[in-house]
């Protein structure tokens, strides 16, 4: 007689498959497992293509393989208006910043030029996910 043994990792996979998409923080709360541990598990499960990890700004979301497969089959559905709004939010926050040291001033100037370039690419519907992620990463570094 075979016993059915489940692990905490199985619980994570089951939760993600039931929800379809859940933030790492919400999964942590629901399962009662620290977020840093879930993050490690999620990275491994993503590499093994059991679930998928995607980022919305800096928030990691866990998505089911089924949901991810559906998105792939639908093809790239890019919301350029949403991308433009994200860029504009970063720009507005950046404009408010008044850095004191020369390094931060140069970083701000670079980011503002990059934002201008990315806004043009977005209008032409030619911006890539990598370019947007790079901007977000640079902005987060700037904010320190």
Mean pLDDT (whole number) for 35-41: 90
Residue of 110 and 75 predicted with greater confidence: 110
Mean pLDDT (whole number) for 29-44: 90
Mean pLDDT (whole number) for 41-58: 85
d(C-alpha 127, C-alpha 120), whole Å: 9
Provide the mean pLDDT of the chain: 83
- 137 contact partners, CB below 8 Å, separation of at least 6: none
Per-residue pLDDT band at 32 (split at 50, 70, 90):
very high
The pLDDT score that the predictor gives to residue 73 is 44
The pLDDT score that the predictor gives to residue 30 is 92
């Amino acid at each position: 007689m075979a016993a059915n043994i489940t692990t905490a990792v199985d619980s994570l996979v089951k939760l993600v498959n039931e929800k379809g998409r859940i933030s790492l923080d919400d999964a942590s709360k629901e399962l009662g497992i620290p977020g840093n541990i879930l993050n490690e598990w999620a990275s491994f499960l993503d590499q093994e293509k059991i679930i998928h990890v995607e980022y919305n700004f800096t928030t990691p979301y866990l998505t089911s393989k089924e949901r991810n497969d559906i998105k792939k089959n639908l093809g790239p559905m890019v919301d350029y208006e949403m991308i433009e709004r994200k860029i504009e939010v970063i720009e507005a926050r950046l404009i408010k910043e008044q850095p004191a040291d020369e390094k931060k001033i140069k970083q701000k100037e670079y980011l503002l030029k990059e934002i201008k370039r990315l806004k043009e690419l977005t209008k032409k519907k030619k911006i890539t996910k990598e370019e947007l992620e790079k901007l977000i990463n640079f902005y987060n570094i700037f904010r320190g």
